A and B are shown apart, each in its own frame.
Chain A
Amino acid sequence: MGISVNVKMGEYSNGLDDDILTTTALGSCVGIALYDPQQRIGGLAHIMLPFSHQFRSSDNPAKFADKAIPAMLEKMIGQGANRHRVWAKIAGGAHMFAMPVSSDVMRIGERNVDAVKAVLRQEGIRIIREDTGNNYGRSLEFYLRDGRVLVKTVGHGTVEL
């Protein structure tokens, strides 16, 4: 039997085989599922901010896209995953509040998605599915048995990635 791990905001977790990794209520944060389908090794990250060098506080590196993704990928490779087979599915990055504020803070969902894509590109990981943007929250269930990611919402149905 696999284990089920809930990944909190600003954290990531790795797993394999029958494990299930979940993360709840992504708003402007982004969930990144990485998976090696042959070894059935994967990881799920819940990032809050784009790049660590842009911010004062970096007490928890895993809250940044540019720190969490490479660290999670390294751990997968350590467990036996092959970088060239690893794909990504991403979800979240919503624009929760429609406010007439032009500040970067209000565009954080979009900036997070852009950062995640840039980091994945740099790592040579392709994104095979995504459900990002819009104005609603998402909870994810990532099944390491087959790489399915279920995206659940309030009032916007459930999507399978």
Chain B
Amino acid sequence: MEENSYYLDDWQRDILREVFNIGAGNAATSLSQLMNMHIDMDVPEVVLLPFSEVADQVGGEEEIVAGVFLTIDGSASGSFVFVLPVESAANLVSTLFGFPKGEATAFNDMEKSALTETGNILAASFLNAVAGLTGMTLSPSVPDVAVDMAGAVLSVPLIRASQDFDYALVMEAQLLAQGDKIKCFFFLLPDPELLEVILDKLKVAADGYQR
């Protein structure tokens, strides 16, 4: 894999969209069980972006977002961020956890833990799906949340990943709960090995299936 010139062909994009869809489905099911309400997730888009364009995906570097960050260890490594524009984050804590709607930029500790826990469940079930499909072991770290400018929130995973790879996989999704649409984003920043393994293993699996 050459640095700086990485792109996905249609076939690889299809594989990744499928992986993300299964991951998202898994994540929505876990969240539904925890919250005891029906939650669906729509995945309209999966893109592989160079770092310079990552913050634009969520509305620009200075857009205020809530980001739940965790690192991935196991057969391969990388990091994962669940990002919600602040309005979506406020919506999520009131819809899912029943907190009264407050000021969208200031979250108290309880609301922050609610966001962290949501990110944790989504990440863990998402990674489980990817692990199941690829035969890898992927363990998420303890997560933490930051509410700040998108560029600042994303700087941590971007710095981590930029040590060897300048692209991120971004999935835009919508959580559908109680008639509310909550816009959110999943960022998977794979170390090069992780992306390679995902694509390889899935290609092998699909080739076997076609035969």
Report Cα–Cα, A155/B86, bound state, in Å.
14
- How many whole Å from A14's CB to the nearest CB in chain B? 20
Q: A8-B52, A105-B71 are contacts. A57–B152 as well, Cβ < 8 Å? A: no
- How many whole Å from A137's CB to the nearest CB in chain B? 2
Report Cα–Cα, A137/B162, bound state, in Å.
19
Q: Is the CB of A48 within 8 A of B162?
A: yes
Interface size on A, residues (CB 8 A): 35
Interface size on B, residues (CB 8 A): 37
Mark interface residues in B139-152 (1 if CB within 8 Å of A CB, else 0).
00111111111111
CB-based A-B contact count at 8 angstroms: 109
Report Cα–Cα, A24/B158, bound state, in Å.
15
Q: A97-B69, A100-B142 are contacts. A63–B152 as well, Cβ < 8 Å? A: no
Tell me if A136 counts as interface (CB < 8 A to partner B): yes
Using CB atoms, name the residue of chain A closest to B55: A25
Tell me if A82 counts as interface (CB < 8 A to partner B): no
For the residues of A in contact with B, the DSSP-based class is loop
Q: Is the CB of A97 within 8 A of B156?
A: yes
Residues of B that sit less than 8 Å from A by CB: 3-4, 51-52, 55, 61-62, 64, 69-71, 105-106, 141-156, 158-160, 162-166
27 pairs from A and B in contact (CB 8 Å cutoff): A9-B52, A9-B151, A9-B155, A25-B61, A25-B62, A25-B151, A25-B155, A27-B148, A27-B153, A27-B154, A27-B155, A27-B156, A29-B155, A55-B164, A59-B3, A94-B152, A96-B69, A97-B69, A97-B156, A99-B141, A101-B141, A108-B156, A136-B152, A137-B152, A139-B62, A154-B64, A155-B106
